């Protein structure tokens, strides 16, 4: 069954003794309601709340217009993507649908997902509309009765106010008005977070280890977030997941003297990046060629050029997609997630990691820079690009502690890696264009356009080679000394 998707932007408040005057809120011309409904929701998670640790909730709700299975995943401060399935008719209501359970794999890492809380809500709702009758927001005043399902007798009751926005842009003005009316923003991102609170991430200290771990946690969270998006085949998800894996691996390598014993983990991250590389590269190639052909004058597009690109990329992209899903279902991938999570929970930091970040991290940055410099002197551009990316990601780790100098160096390194990426794309594109041109010729078609595109890729590489020394000069000039 297809999973429906809905972007939800919601402001949550501790309910006051009196509801603010809704018709006086900014932009509101009409108020419809109230309507009353009773909701019952069973929330699901692992025993150690792995979904909640990533800000996600999975529930089975009855009552109301949107009853069904809901998986909510954060995408911003107040926004979440809600993935929905209708209620099942079978008796196994304590088992989430396979479609949603699979999407939580990156968070749950294969652990059993079971009921953890039961919430019953008495809800009154108002619909707010603008001058032309357009829907602005729904306001829900909730009285909640919650019970944990871990065998304890813990019961909690509270009142809260939720404002679901039609347009996130209206949020700041509405929030300001509601705060002025005496409401306070809720400390909890969801109802479940109030019932089963998850310890917050530790504040980032000023030691080198603190700064490094904060970066690693951020990238691990992003990797898990993209895992779900990749499984849903969302645009750019493979690329973003690959970047997170690469950042994790690069940071662990550069700062190994602060956090040792990660060689196997780095090799697994390298393997994951390799598995994600083919579909990402194919997507980039396909979009680049589509753009190039669309930009040509009609008289230079000779024969069924677009159709030949489609026939080439269709099956190879499908095969690459299948391989990615096999990768995400593999034991090695699960082991990788488990080992990264364990590392972040109990990091074996060295004594050097306790030193102030502003003084310690630049030492590691200088080694990353020298590694790049050596490749500039003796290696092909593609190898320089790999080292420059490692240097760039190392600068990302250090930037919060080192400041403007690290930011300038990071921008220069990013510009260089982007330039060298253009060169690598051109190098990879030319053999494919030659092959497609030959196929067109052998099929009795005119291969002129493929030859033209081949020459444009050659010119692109030549331009990169021309400006490359200037880009490297900027990296050298901004390095931390």
Return the closest-CA partner of residue 19 out of 105, 96, 114, 126: 126
pLDDT reported for residue 198:
87
Cβ–Cβ under 8 Å, residues 56 and 106 = no
Eight-class DSSP state of 444:
T
Short-list 346, 322, 264, 336, CA closest to 109: 336
Residues linked to residue 200 through DSSP beta bridges, in sequence order = none
Is residue 51 within 8 A of residue 58, CB to CB? The reply is yes
C-beta of residue 452 within 8 angstroms of C-beta of residue 300 = yes
Residues 6+ apart with CB under 8 A from 95: none
Contact 393, 246 (CB under 8 A): yes
Residue 89: per-residue pLDDT: 62
Task: Tell me: cis bond preceding 323? Omega within 30 of 0 counts.
Answer: no
436, 309 contact by CB (below 8 A)? yes
Q: What's 440's DSSP letter?
A: H
Give the start-end residues of each E strand in 381-454.
none
Domain regions of the chain by residue span:
4-195, 208-478
Per-residue pLDDT of the chain (481 residues; tens, 9 = 90+): 689 998 999 999 998 767 889 999 999 999 999 999 999 999 999 999 999 999 999 999 999 888 999 999 998 888 999 999 998 765 557 789 999 999 999 999 999 999 999 999 999 999 999 999 999 999 999 999 999 998 777 789 999 999 999 999 999 999 999 999 889 999 998 999 999 988 877 788 899 999 999 999 999 999 999 999 999 999 999 999 999 999 999 999 999 999 999 999 999 999 999 999 999 999 999 999 999 999 999 999 999 999 999 999 999 999 999 999 999 999 999 999 999 999 999 999 999 999 999 999 999 999 999 999 999 999 999 999 999 999 999 999 999 999 999 999 999 999 999 999 999 999 999 999 999 999 999 999 999 999 999 999 999 999 999 999 999 999 999 999 8
C-alpha distances (whole Å) from 340 to each of 36, 344, 405, 450, 455 are 46, 6, 30, 45, 45
Rounded CA-CA distance 43/383 in Å is: 49
Handedness of CA 106, 111, 114, 120 (dihedral sign): negative
Nearest CA-CA partner of 146 in 187, 218, 194, 201? 194
Measure the CA–CA gap between 388 and 103, rounded to whole angstroms: 34
Burial class, 384, CB count within 10 angstroms (exposed 0-12 / middle 13-18 / buried 19+): buried
CATH of 4-195, one of 3.40.50.970, 3.40.50.10310, 2.40.320.10, 2.40.30.10: 2.40.320.10
Rounded Cα distance between 353 and 351, Å, is 5
Q: Residue 417 and residue 456: Cα distance in Å, rounded?
A: 21
Nearest residue to 6 via CA among 192, 166, 198, 180: 166
Q: Using H for helix, E for strand and C for coil, what is the string for 218-257?
A: HHHHHHHHHHHHHHCCCCCHHHHHHHHHHHHHHHHHHCCC
Contact 453, 437 (CB under 8 A): no
> Count of H helices and E strands in the chain?
14, 9
Which residues are 61's β-sheet partners?
41, 68
Q: What is the reported pLDDT for 95?
A: 87
Write down the pLDDT at residue 19. 82
pLDDT computed for residue 228 by the predictor? 97
CB 252 within 8 Å of CB 260: no
Output the CA angle 251-257-260, nearest 5 degrees. 80
CATH superfamily of 208-478: CHAD domain (1.40.20.10)
Buried b (16+ CB within 10 A) or exposed e, 141-154: bbebebebbeeeee
Tokens of 284: 């980039």
CB 75 within 8 A of CB 91: no
DSSP per-residue string spanning 297-322: -GGG--SSHHHHHHHHHHHHHHHHHH
Alpha-carbon separation of residue 37 from 32, 211, 289 (angstroms): 15, 47, 53
């Amino acid at each position: 069954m297809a999973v429906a998707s809905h972007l939800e932007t919601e402001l949550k408040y501790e309910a006051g003794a009196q509801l603010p005057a809704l018709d006086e809120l900014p932009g509101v011309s009409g108020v419809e309601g109230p309507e009353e409904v009773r909701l019952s929701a069973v929330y699901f998670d692992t025993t150690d709340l792995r979904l909640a640790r990533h800000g996600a909730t999975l529930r089975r709700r009855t009552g109301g217009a949107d009853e069904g299975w809901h998986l909510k995943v954060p995408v911003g401060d107040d926004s979440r993507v809600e993935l929905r399935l209708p209620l099942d008719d079978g008796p196994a209501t304590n088992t989430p649908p396979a479609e949603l359970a699979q999407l939580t794999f990156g968070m749950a890492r294969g652990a059993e997902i079971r009921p953890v809380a039961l919430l019953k809500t008495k809800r009154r709702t108002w619909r707010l509309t603008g001058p032309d009758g357009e829907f602005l927001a729904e306001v829900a005043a909730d009285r909640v009765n919650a019970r944990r399902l871990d065998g304890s007798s813990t019961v909690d009751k509270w009142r809260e106010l939720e404002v679901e926005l039609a347009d996130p842009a209206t949020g700041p003005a509405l929030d300001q008005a509601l705060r002025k009316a005496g409401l306070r923003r809720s400390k909890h991102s969801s109802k479940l977070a109030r019932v089963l609170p998850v310890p917050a991430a530790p504040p980032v200290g000023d030691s080198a280890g603190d700064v490094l771990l904060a970066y690693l946690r951020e990238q691990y969270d992003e990797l898990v977030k993209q895992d779900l998006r990749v499984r849903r085949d969302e645009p750019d998800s493979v690329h973003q997941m690959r970047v997170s894996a690469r950042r994790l691996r690069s940071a662990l390598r550069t700062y190994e003297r602060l956090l040792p014993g990660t060689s196997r983990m780095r090799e697994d991250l390298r393997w994951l990046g390799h598995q994600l590389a083919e579909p990402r590269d194919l997507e980039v190639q396909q979009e680049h060629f589509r753009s190039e052909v669309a930009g040509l004058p009609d008289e230079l597009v000779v024969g069924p050029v677009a159709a030949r690109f489609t026939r080439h990329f269709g099956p190879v992209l499908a095969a690459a997609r299948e391989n990615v899903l096999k990768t995400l279902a593999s034991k090695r991938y699960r082991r990788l997630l488990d080992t990264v999570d364990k590392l972040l929970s109990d990091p074996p930091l060295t004594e050097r990691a306790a030193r102030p970040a502003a003084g310690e991290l630049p030492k590691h940055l200088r080694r990353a820079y020298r590694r790049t410099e050596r490749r500039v002197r003796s290696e092909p551009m593609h190898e320089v690009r790999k080292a420059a990316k490692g240097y760039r990601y190392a600068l990302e780790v250090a930037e919060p502690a080192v400041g403007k100098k690290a930011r300038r160096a990071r921008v220069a390194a990013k510009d260089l890696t982007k330039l060298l990426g253009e060169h690598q794309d051109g190098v990879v594109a030319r053999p494919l264009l030659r092959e497609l041109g030959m196929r067109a010729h052998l099929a009795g078609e005119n291969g002129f356009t493929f030859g033209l595109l081949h020459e444009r890729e050659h010119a692109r590489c030549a331009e990169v080679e021309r400006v490359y020394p200037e880009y490297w000069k900027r990296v050298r000039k901004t390095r931390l000394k």
